[in-house]
Amino acid sequence: MLRRLFEHTLWGSRFLLVLGVVSSMLMALGAFLLATLDALQLPRYLASYMDPDLTVEARTDLRNRVLTLIVKAVDGYIITAVLIIFALGLYQLVMGRLEVARDSPVASQWLPLADLEDLKGRIANLLLLVLVIEFFQRALLQDVDRPLDLLYLSVGILLIGVTLWLGKRKPPGKGA
């Protein structure tokens, strides 16, 4: 009797993770709004960029700000995707398949999760993309005044390339 009560309680505790699903969706909404607000600033900057009276230095500075704004917006949308994929994956792993997605031709391609490792792998790939974007955002703002600065930037780009290459390799036994 006590064992059965414990097992029911333990099995029912999975519903706590629904709070994680809801929280992830709320964070996704927040990230989406931030990215969209960043993107909506773009026309104002572009209008300023077309001003023929801008000096070369001012135009370069404005161009860097525009590129940084674009990168921030893309970054925000990728973070939104990470949070939504996490929420959907967590729900599927804990509660079962989404009934409304069962008939959707997109659902089988978009989120075919086998297990927790599959979810972690998808999220890790998206987080790696976020980190790459963050690196390039900071690289755009970096002053390259000395040859050593250029070397550091080159090494950073090389490390990112190696990381992306390693991330695409299939583990042994997982196919070619």
Residue 43 lies in a domain: yes
Residue 59 lies in a domain: yes
pLDDT of residue 31: 95
Residue 69 lies in a domain: yes
User: Alpha-carbon distance 150 to 34, whole Å?
Assistant: 32
Residue 159 lies in a domain: no
Domain containing 24 equals 13-141
Residue 114 lies in a domain: yes
User: Alpha-carbon distance 12 to 145, whole Å?
Assistant: 60
Nearest-5° Cα angle at 16, 25 to 33: 10
3-state secondary structure 77-138: HHHHHHHHHHHHHHHHHHHCCCCCCCCCCCHHHHCCCCCHHHHHHHHHHHHHHHHHHHHHHH
Nearest-5° Cα angle at 127, 122 to 132: 130
Q: Provide the whole-model pTM.
A: 0.70
Instruction: Tell me how far CA of residue 42 lies from CA of 38, 53, 68, 108, 137, in angstroms.
Output: 7, 20, 10, 35, 16
For the chain, the domain total comes to: 1
One digit per residue, the tens of pLDDT, for the chain of length 176 reads: 888 988 888 888 888 888 999 999 999 999 999 999 999 999 998 888 888 888 888 888 888 888 888 888 988 998 998 899 888 888 888 887 777 777 777 666 666 666 667 777 777 777 787 888 878 777 877 777 888 888 888 888 888 888 878 877 766 665 54
| Upper half-sphere CA count for residue 66 (Cβ side, 13 Å) | 15
